């Protein structure tokens, strides 16, 4: 709880509050009128769908004691006008919750692909080293052993600061979070005091939103320029094999740890051997060497491991301990996850929903099998349409057979998404099957001994978003039903 006068201090606004209004007690901050309670400060956010200013009255009816807005409103409680409500929200939330990230070793992971995977590997290493950890990302938010659902990979600043405060209360030492480009662009992580920033890679995605790769890189770069200009205790972990790596390195004054496979790097993997059971490699870290046996599959997984190793070393964990942790990292839900029901062919569910990830995963599958490869894949609606034909092209080139189907069409017509994917395809090794369940069944029913069916795009998701309604749908569940159905 804070007085309004005290809470507004970091905004440095010239609010014309009476001495009585100055003393109003603010019990919580809200950006959603549906959460407002007695004594809330309600912040009006102009969204993509609706305008929070239209809910100010509703918030007051629910007990809002003051309103922050970007324009004048006829309201009965104190109104503070700011130029940018989201910017104000980040500042106020961090202040109200007593700058919780300053009490955490905060690690942010950004990049087009590999954020969830890297954060999960890193969390395992940290927990093995007896750190109490928190995680924020695509699959969930986790505080200690408790998990919570999240709507976004990187939530809005208010939710973030509340989460960090809960982490402080639970004595979390290290928080590992995915930082999406949307979040960076929207300023959701303003007010987060990162200690370590990790870059995985940059390949085309979200160009509907960022428009050009340069602007997309600029959004990602904000994590590195925000790393502070004292290098004391701040580290940027950079994939030096990625074209954008060196550019990001130039943007930070923090210490830099590079990792890679192809180029010389501080943290490097060599002699990589992949089998369907896992990967072994020699890990070099600042001149020391250890051999790692790792259960995750594919070169891309080695990159994610290297990123996690670098961030763990920067967090003070010993290489010996890191090696031991890597050796018992378990598979990550929906990432190259096998569906095993005793069938003589392989079925793999994976979250590849970009051209680069699909290419990487198909490269891995084709390298590890002598059988036929069938890929079942679609593209999401209300997302970058430019990746659709590129993904389809990779599918027909890399796999023996592709079944194009629906992903999350959201507000788009799924037939039109399929048309976008296939309109310029010259190949004839594909078919389109709109119903995802039918598509998965068809691929599995045709699989023979030694073949691989890759079901890409939805990974861990347990729903299919059609016209804004989330229907239960789980690729793993459907695949298992199809496999068992064939056995009976």
Ligand X SMILES: N[C@H](CCC[C@H](N)C(=O)O)C(=O)O
Classify the C-alpha dihedral 79-82-85-91 as positive or negative.
negative
The token pair that represents 346 in the structure block = 């392989």
Closest CA to 189 of 232, 236, 227, 230: 227
Q: For ligand X, which residue has the nearest CB?
A: 380
Q: Which residues contact 64 (CB under 8 A, 6 or more apart)?
A: 30, 36, 40, 41, 42, 56, 77
Rounded Cα distance, 382 and 128, in Å:
40
Q: Applying CB under 6 A, does 407 fall inside the site for ligand X?
A: yes
Which of these segments, 11-19, 180-188, 334-342, 445-453, binds ligand UAG (CB under 6 A)?
180-188
Residue 380 binds which entry of ligand X, Mg ion, ligand ATP, none, with Cβ cut-offs from 5 to 8 Å by kind? ligand X
Q: Applying CB under 6 A, does 57 fall inside the site for ligand UAG?
A: no
Nearer to ligand X, 414 or 457 (CB): 457
Which of 397-412 are b and which e, b meaning 16 or more Cβ less than 10 Å from the residue's Cβ? Answer: ebbebbbbbbbbbbeb
Residue 113 binds which entry of Mg ion, ligand ATP, ligand UAG, none, with Cβ cut-offs from 5 to 8 Å by kind? ligand ATP
Residue with tokens 């930070």: 252
**Phi, psi (rounded to 5 degrees) for 390:** -65, -45
Classify the C-alpha dihedral 472-478-480-486 as positive or negative.
positive
Q: What share of the chain is helix, strand, coil (3-state, %, to 5)?
A: 35, 25, 40
Closest CA to 334 of 425, 237, 458: 458
Rounded Cα distance, 399 and 376, in Å:
10
Residue 235 binds which entry of ligand X, Mg ion, ligand ATP, none, with Cβ cut-offs from 5 to 8 Å by kind? none
Residue 352 binds which entry of ligand X, Mg ion, ligand ATP, none, with Cβ cut-offs from 5 to 8 Å by kind? ligand ATP
Which residue positions form the known binding site? 33, 111-117, 152-154, 180, 188, 383, 407-410, 457, 461
Which of these segments, 37-45, 82-90, 111-119, 276-284, binds ligand ATP (CB under 6 A)?
111-119
The token pair that represents 230 in the structure block = 């004292």
Among 33, 113, 116, 153, binds ligand X (CB under 6 A): 153
Rounded Cα distance, 463 and 455, in Å:
15
Q: Minimum CB separation from ligand ATP for residue 423, in Å?
A: 25
Judged by CB under 6 A, the chain residues 290 through 319 that form the site for ligand ATP are: 300, 303-304
Q: What do you get for the CA distance between the two ends of the chain, in Å?
A: 62
Number of residues forming the site for Mg ion (CB under 5 A): 4
Q: Applying CB under 6 A, does 153 fall inside the site for ligand UAG?
A: yes
Q: Minimum CB separation from ligand ATP for residue 356, in Å?
A: 5
Decide: 92 and 187 in contact? Cβ < 8 Å: no
Fill in the per-residue mask, 124 to 153: x = in contact with ligand ATP (CB under 6 A), - = not in contact: --------------x--------------x
Strand 430-432 relative to strand 141-143, pairing: unpaired
Q: Minimum CB separation from ligand ATP for residue 195, in Å?
A: 20
Q: Minimum CB separation from Mg ion for residue 140, in Å?
A: 11
Among 91, 442, 458, 460, binds ligand X (CB under 6 A): 458
Nearer to ligand X, 143 or 455 (CB): 455
Report residue 387 CA to chain centroid gap: 18
Q: Applying CB under 6 A, does 88 fall inside the site for ligand UAG?
A: no
Residue with tokens 């954008």: 244
Q: Applying CB under 6 A, does 475 fall inside the site for ligand X?
A: no
Among 9, 23, 25, 47, binds ligand UAG (CB under 6 A): 47
Q: Which residues contact 343 (CB under 8 A, 6 or more apart)?
A: 447, 483, 486, 487
Rounded Cα distance, 269 and 376, in Å:
31
Q: Applying CB under 6 A, does 201 fall inside the site for ligand ATP?
A: yes
Residue 134 binds which entry of ligand UAG, ligand X, ligand ATP, none, with Cβ cut-offs from 5 to 8 Å by kind? none
Q: Applying CB under 5 A, does 115 fall inside the site for Mg ion?
A: yes
**Phi, psi (rounded to 5 degrees) for 464:** -125, 120
Residue 152 binds which entry of ligand X, ligand UAG, Mg ion, none, with Cβ cut-offs from 5 to 8 Å by kind? ligand UAG
Q: Applying CB under 6 A, does 356 fall inside the site for ligand ATP?
A: yes
What is the DSSP annotation of 358-380?
HHHHHHHHHHH-SS-EEEEE---
Give the binding site for ligand X (CB under 6 A): 153, 353, 380, 383, 407-408, 457-458, 461
- The binding site for ligand ATP (CB under 6 A) comprises 113-117, 138, 153, 178, 200-201, 300, 303-304, 335, 350-352, 356-357, 360-361, 459
Interface residues with Mg ion (CB under 5 A) are: 115-116, 138, 178
């Amino acid at each position: 709880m804070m007085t309004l006068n005290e809470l507004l201090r970091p905004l440095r606004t010239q609010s014309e509050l009476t001495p009585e209004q100055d003393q109003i007690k603010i019990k919580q901050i809200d950006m959603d009128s549906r959460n407002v309670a007695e004594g809330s400060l309600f912040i009006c956010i102009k969204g993509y769908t609706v305008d929070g200013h239209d809910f100010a009255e509703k918030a007051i009816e629910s007990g809002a004691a003051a309103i922050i807005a970007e324009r004048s409103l006829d309201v009965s409680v104190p109104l503070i006008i700011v130029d940018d409500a989201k910017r104000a929200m980040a500042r106020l939330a961090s202040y109200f919750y007593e700058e919780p990230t300053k009490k955490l070793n905060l690690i942010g992971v950004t990049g087009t692909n590999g954020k969830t995977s890297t954060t999960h590997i890193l969390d395992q290493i940290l927990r093995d080293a007896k750190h109490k950890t928190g995680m924020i990302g695509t699959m969930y938010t986790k505080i200690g052993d408790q998990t919570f659902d999240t709507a976004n990979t990187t939530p809005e600043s208010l939710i973030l600061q509340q989460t960090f405060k809960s982490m402080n209360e639970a004595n979390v030492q290290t928080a590992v979070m995915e930082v999406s480009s949307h979040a960076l662009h929207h300023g959701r992580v303003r007010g987060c005091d990162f200690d370590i920033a990790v870059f995985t890679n940059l390949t085309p995605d979200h160009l509907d939103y960022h428009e050009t790769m340069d602007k997309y890189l600029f959004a990602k770069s904000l994590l590195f320029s925000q790393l502070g200009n004292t290098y004391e205790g701040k580290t940027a972990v950079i994939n030096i094999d990625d074209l954008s790596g060196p550019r990001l390195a130039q943007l930070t004054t923090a210490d830099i740890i590079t990792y890679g496979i192809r180029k010389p790097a501080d943290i490097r993997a060599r002699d990589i051997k992949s089998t369907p059971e896992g990967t072994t490699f020699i890990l070099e870290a600042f001149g020391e060497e250890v051999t790692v046996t790792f259960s995750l599959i594919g070169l891309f997984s080695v990159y994610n491991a290297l990123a996690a190793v670098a961030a763990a070393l920067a967090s003070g964990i010993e290489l010996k301990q890191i090696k031991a942790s890597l050796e018992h990292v378990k598979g990550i839900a929906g990432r190259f996850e096998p569906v095993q029901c005793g069938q003589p062919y392989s079925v793999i569910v994976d979250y590849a929903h970009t051209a680069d990830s699909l290419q990487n995963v198909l490269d891995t599958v084709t390298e590890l099998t002598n059988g036929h490869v069938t890929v079942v894949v679609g593209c999401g609606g209300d997302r970058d349409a430019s990746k659709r034909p590129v993904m389809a092209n990779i599918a027909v080139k890399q796999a023996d057979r592709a079944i194009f189907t629906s992903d999350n069409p959201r507000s788009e017509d799924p037939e039109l998404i399929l048309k976008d994917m296939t309109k310029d395809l010259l190949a004839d090794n594909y078919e389109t099957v709109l119903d995802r369940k039918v598509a998965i069944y068809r691929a599995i029913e045709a699989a023979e001994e030694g073949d691989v069916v890759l079901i890409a795009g939805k990974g861990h998701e347990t729903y299919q978003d059609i016209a804004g309604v989330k229907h239960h749908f789980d690729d793993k569940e459907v695949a298992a039903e199809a496999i068992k159905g064939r056995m009976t």
